[in-house]
Amino acid sequence: MASKGKKDRGGIRSSIVLRLNLRLWLRLLGIYLTTDLLLLLLALGGLLLWCDRQCGDLAGLVEERGAPSAEATEWMAAGNYTVSALDTPPEGDGLRVLGRLIRFNALGLDLFGEGERTLSLGDVPLFFGSWSGRPGQGASYSLALANGGEPYVITLDLEGPVGVLAYAGRILLVCQLFGLLLNLLKNAGTIKKTLRPIQDLAAAAARLGNAPSAPAGMSPKELSALAGRLDQINASHLDDRIPVSGTQKELRDLAEAINAMLDRLEAAYRAQMRFVSDASHELRTPIAVIQGYASLLDRWGKDDPATRQEAIDAIRAEAEAMKELVEQLLFLARGDNDTMQVELTHFDLTEVAAQVFRETELIDRTHPLTARWEPEPVPVYADLGLVKQCLRVLVDNSIKYTPAGGEISLKLEAAEGTARLSVQDEGDGIDPQSLPHIFERFYRADQSRDRKTGGTGLGLAIARYIAERHGGWLEVLSRRGVGTRMTLVLPLTPVPGGEGE
């Protein structure tokens, strides 16, 4: 199976390598061809300039001493130029340029007379055979001039320079051919090396999904197969990570992003698992108590009214605690699934605070209770029931964790666009190590103390959810042995269209 995966990856990779290689090769070919064309033009231009310069010097001589005799012309033919009287037009195929002769002298450029240039390349030697202007004719440059008197023609023999240029051109072409071949081989290696991290990424992704081959398929069929494989990612593979040792920054970033996503997924998954196991653990105790009392009743309590009553009371209390726990769990689960019913209305937060204050006065008579708020309304746009539930959690904690006689005070104020409702107590306080955890589900700062008070550790998790669901937050200020202040902060939202609504 593994070898099949390897083969698939190899197939995908080699097709990319081939395409990239071909593209790079064609680009290089284009660069070579452009360079060759430029070099050819430069060589031709340079040759013409050189010829003009030679002719310019000779024309100067002719002007000084007159055209040479026919005999002298014959002698000249042994060298590489001739100057002869023009009785017949110059022969030869090739480039004809009419224009003034440019002469270079000490003062710079000087335009000499009207002339007709003819450049003939003759038989240019190529790789196979030669390119011929006119068979049998050598490379030459002739310039016909009629400067004042007799017309004459200067002819330069270009066999030598053209031969050298053609030779240099051939060497250049051979070098370029080698360059192209070498590049073809070298590029393949470089591309393969560059693509290796992608291959590793694909392999790691395949491992995550427990897939037999890489999910880097390109066709629709392969893509749907990939979707299927992603479905297979499960908890047992969540701790797998993609190696990020590749050299390319972009690929490393991608791998790191995937790994970070897996980290978050794993953390969320583990939190969920912990939640479920904590919940089961919490339910085990009351169930065990109920079972214990049931067997007590069975054995001895049938005829003993005192035992019977004790068992009934205990079972009722445990059932009540279980009911509350299950309700809290359901609340948080609805929050997690985003299925919580939230009915937002405009109301005055002072009214809710006053209601909870009155309720607390009725149920708790062991702590002196004080309240402080302004006569002006503090308008918020929230779910009334949920805000009340949140405040009850805070007050409930203050009651539970404050020894009898300690004062509990409620305070409401509006400040900087927020409504701040705080519950302050003179209780045991929370130690600094526990403070970051008190909003976690099932967290209780002092297990032995909290077992006595009967809490489950879900109250503050619920309160935080409610605050955040309304765009607000909870603030805690606590010192061991001094007391605790918890503040619910909600955005202040004035009733649109005035007070009456």
Residue 276 tokens read as: 């479920």
DSSP-derived pairing of the beta strands 130-132 and 123-125 = antiparallel
Residue 377 or residue 455: which is nearer to ligand ATP going by CB? 455
| Contact flags string 370-409 toward ligand ATP, x per CB under 6 A | -----------------------x---xx-xx--------
**Does the protein bind Mg ion through residue 161 (CB under 5 A)?**
no
For ligand ATP, give the closer residue by CB, 286 or 427: 427
Q: Does the protein bind Mg ion through residue 457 (CB under 5 A)? A: no
457 binding partner (options Mg ion, ligand ATP, none; Cβ < 5 to 8 Å by kind): ligand ATP
Binding flag, residue 428, ligand ATP (CB under 6 A): yes
Q: CA distances (Å), 343 to each of 171, 259, 262, 340, in order?
A: 86, 39, 35, 10
**Do the Cβ atoms of 411 and 374 come closer than 8 Å?**
no
459 is a site residue for Mg ion (CB under 5 A): yes
Among 157, 190, 450, 495, indicate the residue that binds ligand ATP (CB under 6 A): 450
Please state the closest distance from residue 426 (CB atom) to ligand ATP, in A. Answer: 10
d(C-alpha 457, C-alpha 393), whole Å: 11
Shortest CB 221 distance to Mg ion, Å: 56
How many whole angstroms separate alpha carbon 225 and alpha carbon 231? 10
Tell me if 200 sits within 8 A of 242, measured CB to CB.
yes
Beta strand pairing call for 379-382 and 81-85: unpaired
Q: How far apart are CA 160 and CA 132, in angstroms?
A: 16
Which residues in the 367-406 window bind Mg ion by CB under 5 A?
Answer: 397
d(CA 134, CA 149): 32
> With CB under 5 A, what is the number of residues at the site for Mg ion?
3
Q: Is 57 in the site for ligand ATP (CB under 6 A)?
A: no
- Tally of CB atoms within 10 A around 93: 14
Q: What is the DSSP letter of 297?
A: I
Give least dist CB 311 to ligand ATP, A. 24
Whether 486 and 425 have beta carbons less than 8 Å apart is answered as: no
Binding mask 336-375 for ligand ATP (x = CB under 6 A): ----------------------------------------
DSSP H helices, 364-499, are 384-400, 447-453, 459-469
Site membership for Mg ion, residue 478 (CB under 5 A)? no
Interface residues with Mg ion (CB under 5 A)? 397, 455, 459
Interface residues with ligand ATP (CB under 6 A)? 393, 397-398, 400-401, 425, 427-430, 438, 443-446, 450, 455-461, 484
